[in-house]
Structure 1
C-alpha cells in the first residue's frame, strides 16, 4: 500500500504507466474505512469526507470497503465477482475494445429500437444481441437504446432496480462483452444509447445506505425509495463520472435519462444542465445525445443545454393509445376526452400538456413546446413502460388488432419526430412484455403483492407473478414467429427506407414552421416546412385520406378496412 496522492474520486481507478490503483469512497460520517484488496487490508486515509488509498494490483483482483466490521462492494464497482453483495473486481478501461473510426451520427437521422438485453434473445446476453445488429441495421434502424445495464439484485429484471450503476449486469455478460457490443453495433452504423437511472436505487443491495448514508436526502422520498441528495457535489460527481464511463470508456453515443422529474426538488433542472455541460467538455470527437424522460413536460432546458437532444414524448403515445383502444383509466383519462384532438396537438406542438387545464387531470403540467423543432421529441407507439406497466404486459397490436396499428406504424415512421420502436414491434410481435424480477423471501412476496395492488383502475385480470421465471420467458418477443411477421418486417423496412430517403434530408436541412389542421372529427392535415422543402401527411380514422397539396409528390399511401388511412408526400423548397 502507498500513500494516496490524487484528487479523490469514487471507486478504483488505474493510474497511468504504473501498477498502482487509486481507491476512493465518500463517507463523511464514517470514522474509519478499511480497504480490502487481494487478502490485504489497510485503513484508508481520511481527507474531508473522503477515504482514500493507493495500492499496486492487477486487473481482476477482488476488493471491497469495510465499515463497522462489515465488508461491502464498491458503490462505483465496474465489475462484480458475482451478485450485488459480492466483492468488486478491478477493471482497467484501457483493456476495453475502443472505437475504430466511428464518428457518431447526426441525431436527426435517428430511428431507434428500444431493447432489453435479457429478453432480446434466448441467451439474454450482449454477445447474442450483437449477432443481431446487422439485421436490425438492414431494416433501417440507426440507433439502439438499451434498457439499464447496471447491476441489480438477482438475474432477471428490467434494470431500473439498479444498485451498482457502474457495473455491467453479469447475466448480460462482462464489461468487455459490452464494449464489444458497442463496437459491433457501430460497425453496422448503429449508435448505442444506454438508459441511465440517476433518480433512485433499488431495494436490494443498495450499498450506499451502509457505506455513505449522507448520499440520500432524508426529507424526501421518490415513488421507488429514498431520494438522492443532488445538492452535494460528491453525489453529483458520482453520476457525472458514471456518464463519463458510458460515453468514454465504452464509447456509447448517448444516454436516455430515466424519470428526471425525480432528480432534485420539483421543477429543478440544475443537475441536467450540469450533466449536459460536463458531457460537452469531454470533447469525444463525436456527437453525444442526451434524452431525458420528464413527466413535468418542461421544455426550455432541452434546447438550452448542450447535447440535450430530445425528450421522450409520452403525450404522443397516450393520444395514439387512447385513440385506438378507447381506454380511459389511470393516466389515460385526460387523453381519452378527445384523443384525436390531442394527436393533432402533438403533431403541431410536440407535447400535449403545456400548462393548460385539461379535463380528467388533477392539475396542469408542462410548458409551451411549439418553439422546439420536431427532432426534440422521441415519439413512440409502444415502450417498455407503456406495455410492461399494464397488468399483463399487452402490446398495442394485441389490444386492437393489426389493421389500425399498421396505419399508426406508418405515421410514427414518416412523421418528422424521432421515432422509437420497442423490440418486436418491427415484426408485429404479440408477445407481452411483463414486469419481472428475481427477488427472494420477504422482498419477493412484497413485490408480488404490490404488483397486484397496482391495478385498481385497470381491468380485473390475473397479474403474472414478477418473480416467476415464466413471466420473464413469456416476455421474449422473438420466441414465437407470428404468421404475419415477414409482412410486418417488409412494411417496417419499406417505411424506414422512405424516411431515410425523404424525411431525414428535410430534417437535416433545418425546420422552419408547421401547419397542422383538424379537418373533421378524426381527420387531420399536417405540413412541416423545412429549408429544403416540405413534408405533408394526411391522416384519418374515417376512411381514405384526402388529397395532398398540388405541389406535393406522394411517397406513401395506405388504407385499411377499419376506416383508417394515411397519405404522405414531399415537396421541394
Structure 2
C-alpha cells in the first residue's frame, strides 16, 4: 500500500516532473536552486512562485535563492538531511510499501498513552531503536505512543518545540522512511501513534519565512515568542491557515498517524469569525469521515466548547484536552509543593482533584488566583471522561523543573502507588511519561543545541538560570550554577532512559504493578466506558477524603481515596471491589477501613 498527501506548496513528484511551489509575497526575486542549477521563478499572482522541472528524482537537493542573496530551504520540505539551514531533499512518499492495510485504528476509550521523546527514549535516540521497544510497550498495556514534536529543529538535540520546518521529520532521529517503519510496526502490534505538533510559534533558529513572507506574521497579536502567526490576516490568513491544516492532513495521511496533540492552543490568536481551531478540526474530520482520528489539545483556557460531542457521542471538534487541573491536584497532595501555578490549587487540593476527576475541570469559570483572579475555564461536567487526558507527570512537568526530577524523586512510594492506581483505573484517558511505568531514575532535563550560534546558546543558558532565581534553592549565583547547562551534550545524555533498570528492584516491582493495573483497566474499566455516559459526581466526606462516582449506562465506577489524617470507613459500597490498596483492611464487622494514603475502586454493573 502506498500513501502520499498532495498539497499546494512544496515539492510534488508528478508525471511531468517535480512541481516546486513557494509562497513568497514579500520577495522581489526568487530562483529555484536545484542540484547546482538555477531556475528563475516568476510571480504567478498573490505571491505564488511555481515551476515544474522534468527529470528530477527523489533525493535531489533544492532550495530557494531570495532576492539574489539568501538561499533558504523549502518551508514545506519533507526532509532536511543537513539541518534547518541546509538544502531540502525531494522525497517520494509513495515509494514506501506499507503493510498496515487492515489497520482500522482503535476507539478513543481504549487509549492508554505513552508520551515519549524519540531522542531520549532509547540510548540510540532513533526511530529504529524506538521501534524495538514497541513490543514491551504493548505488553505493558499501552495502546498508543505519543511522540514529542518531530518538526526539524536547529542542531542535533531538542525537545521539539523549537521546530521551524513542520513537514520535515528531524534527521537526528533517522529518515522519513524510518518513521514510517515505526508507525507501520506499531500498527502491526495494535498500537496507535499520536504526534505532538506546534502551530503557535516557530523556534528561534532556522526560520526564514521573514525573508520572503513577512505577512505570515502579524504585529496585531503578541505571543511569548514574539509576533503572532497571521491566522486572521485579510490577505494572507487563508494561506497561513492552509499551511497548518495541510500539515495535520500530511501527518495523518502520508504517515498514517492516528491522532495529533496541538501544543498550547491558547497561544493561537485568531479574531476570525471561525477560529482556526474550529476550521482545523472540521477539515480533518471531513477528510477522514470513517477513520477514527483523535485530536487532543493543550489549552490553559479550559475551553470545554472545543470538546463538545454530537448526538451520537462523537467529538464535534476535538477529542480531548490535557487535564492540567487533575495533575495539579495530585501533585500538591503528593509533594506539598504550592508555588507558581500550583498556588491556585493549594487551598483545597483534594477538592480540586475530586471535581476534576468527576467533571473534567477544577476551574469552570471561577476566579483563578494566578491569573489575577480572572475567571478561568468553562462548565465541563456534561462532557464524558474520555474528553480529558490525565497524567501524574509529562515532559513539561518534569523537564521544566530546574533539575528535571521525576515525581518518583519527589513523592513517597506508597503515596505514589495510590496515585498510580487513581490515574490508571479512573475512566479518563491516562497518559504515562516515558519511564514512569518503572519509576525511572534518570531525570528529563531541558536541552537545546543551537551551536555554533554561541550568542543564542548563552541567552538560553542565562535565561534558564534567571527562570529559577526566585526559588530559594537557586537564589544565589553559586546555586544557580548547579542548574544543568541546557546547551551541553551531557545534559541531553543524562536524560536518556536506562531500560536495563526495569529488571532491578524497586523498578521491577513498580513495572509489575503498572502492568497489573493496566490489565485491570482493560478488563474492568474500558467495557464500562464504551457504554453511554450519564454523569459524574463527587463528595468530600472529610477535607482529606474524596469519593468520586462515574455513571454509565452499563454501571458505575467509584473511587474513594484517603490522603491523610485518621483512617476512614466509607460504609457500604454497592458493587464489587475491583482494586484496593494493600493497606486497606476490614474491621471485625467486615466493614472496609482505609488508612491514610489508601483507596478503593468499586464497580457496579447494571
TM-score calculated relative to the size of structure 1: 0.95
Aligned to 1:259: 264
Map 1:122-137 to 2 at 5 A: 122-137=123-138
Distance 2:528 2:158 in 1: 40
Residue 535 (structure 1) aligned with residue 557 (structure 2) = yes
Of 231, 240, 248 in structure 2, the residue corresponding to residue 243 of structure 1 is: 248
Secondary structure at the residue paired with 1:352?
A: coil
Cα distance change of structure 1 residues 447 and 560 upon mapping to structure 2, 3 Å threshold? farther
Deviations 1:246-297 (A, max 9, x none): 0000000010000001112489971111111111122274200110100111
Q: How far did 1:430 drift?
A: 2.7
Distance 1:537 1:487 in 2: 24
Aligned to 1:554: 577
Distance 1:9 1:340 in 2: 51
Is the contact between residue 287 and residue 307 of structure 1 (CA under 8 Å) also seen in structure 2? no
Q: How far did 1:359 drift?
A: 4.4
Distance 1:313 1:367 in 2: 13
Q: How far did 1:8 drift?
A: 8.1
Cα distance change of structure 1 residues 408 and 190 upon mapping to structure 2, 3 Å threshold? same
Residue 472 (structure 1) aligned with residue 492 (structure 2) = yes
Of 234, 239, 256 in structure 2, the residue corresponding to residue 234 of structure 1 is: 239
Aligned to 1:498: 520
Secondary structure at the residue paired with 1:357?
A: strand
Cα distance change of structure 1 residues 361 and 239 upon mapping to structure 2, 3 Å threshold? closer
Secondary structure at the residue paired with 1:353?
A: coil
Distance 1:474 1:269 in 2: 45
Distance 1:308 1:188 in 2: 26
Q: How far did 1:567 drift?
A: 0.5
Aligned to 2:358: 348
Q: How far did 1:456 drift?
A: 3.4
Is the contact between residue 311 and residue 378 of structure 1 (CA under 8 Å) also seen in structure 2? yes
Deviations 1:157-199 (A, max 9, x none): 1000001111011111100000000011111111000000111
Secondary structure at the residue paired with 2:32?
A: strand
Aligned to 1:276: 281
Distance 1:480 1:325 in 2: 28
Aligned to 2:11: 12
Distance 2:62 2:426 in 1: 51
Map 1:66-105 to 2 at 5 A: 66-69=65-68, 70-98=70-98, 99-105=100-106
Q: How far did 1:401 drift?
A: 2.6
Secondary structure at the residue paired with 1:36?
A: strand
Is the contact between residue 7 and residue 246 of structure 2 (CA under 8 Å) also seen in structure 1? no
Q: How far did 1:100 drift?
A: 2.3
Aligned to 1:293: 298
Q: How far did 1:212 drift?
A: 1.4
Cα distance change of structure 1 residues 547 and 8 upon mapping to structure 2, 3 Å threshold? closer
Secondary structure at the residue paired with 2:366?
A: coil
Q: How far did 1:514 drift?
A: 1.7
- Alpha carbon RMSD of aligned pairs, Å? 1.9
Aligned to 1:60: 59
Of 554, 564, 567 in structure 1, the residue corresponding to residue 597 of structure 2 is: 564
Deviations 1:191-235 (A, max 9, x none): 000000111000000021223121111233321233111121000
Is the contact between residue 97 and residue 183 of structure 1 (CA under 8 Å) also seen in structure 2? no
Cα distance change of structure 1 residues 558 and 242 upon mapping to structure 2, 3 Å threshold? same
Q: How far did 1:477 drift?
A: 2.8
Aligned to 2:533: 511
Is the contact between residue 380 and residue 419 of structure 1 (CA under 8 Å) also seen in structure 2? yes
Distance 1:284 1:479 in 2: 40
Aligned to 2:589: none
Cα distance change of structure 1 residues 550 and 483 upon mapping to structure 2, 3 Å threshold? closer
Distance 1:532 1:458 in 2: 49
Distance 1:510 1:388 in 2: 38
Map 1:37-186 to 2 at 5 A: 37-47=34-44, 48-56=46-54, 57-69=56-68, 70-98=70-98, 99-186=100-187
Of 22, 25, 30 in structure 1, the residue corresponding to residue 22 of structure 2 is: 25
Is the contact between residue 381 and residue 535 of structure 2 (CA under 8 Å) also seen in structure 1? no
Deviations 1:97-147 (A, max 9, x none): 433210000001100010000000000000000000011011110011100
Distance 2:414 2:239 in 1: 53
Cα distance change of structure 1 residues 559 and 364 upon mapping to structure 2, 3 Å threshold? farther
Aligned to 2:591: none
Aligned to 2:383: 372
Distance 1:550 1:450 in 2: 53
Distance 1:434 1:285 in 2: 40
Is the contact between residue 302 and residue 309 of structure 1 (CA under 8 Å) also seen in structure 2? yes
Is the contact between residue 64 and residue 72 of structure 2 (CA under 8 Å) also seen in structure 1? yes
Of 438, 447, 461 in structure 2, the residue corresponding to residue 427 of structure 1 is: 438
Is the contact between residue 392 and residue 463 of structure 1 (CA under 8 Å) also seen in structure 2? yes
Cα distance change of structure 1 residues 360 and 42 upon mapping to structure 2, 3 Å threshold? closer
Secondary structure at the residue paired with 2:29?
A: coil
TM-score calculated relative to the size of structure 2: 0.90
Is the contact between residue 35 and residue 43 of structure 1 (CA under 8 Å) also seen in structure 2? yes
Structure 2's unaligned 5+ residue stretches are 1-5, 310-314, 475-481, 585-594
User: Which region of structure 1 is more displaced relative to structure 2, 479-488 or 319-328?
Assistant: 479-488
Is the contact between residue 548 and residue 567 of structure 1 (CA under 8 Å) also seen in structure 2? no
Is the contact between residue 351 and residue 546 of structure 2 (CA under 8 Å) also seen in structure 1? no
Q: How far did 1:95 drift?
A: 1.8
Secondary structure at the residue paired with 1:101?
A: coil
Residue 453 (structure 1) aligned with residue 466 (structure 2) = yes
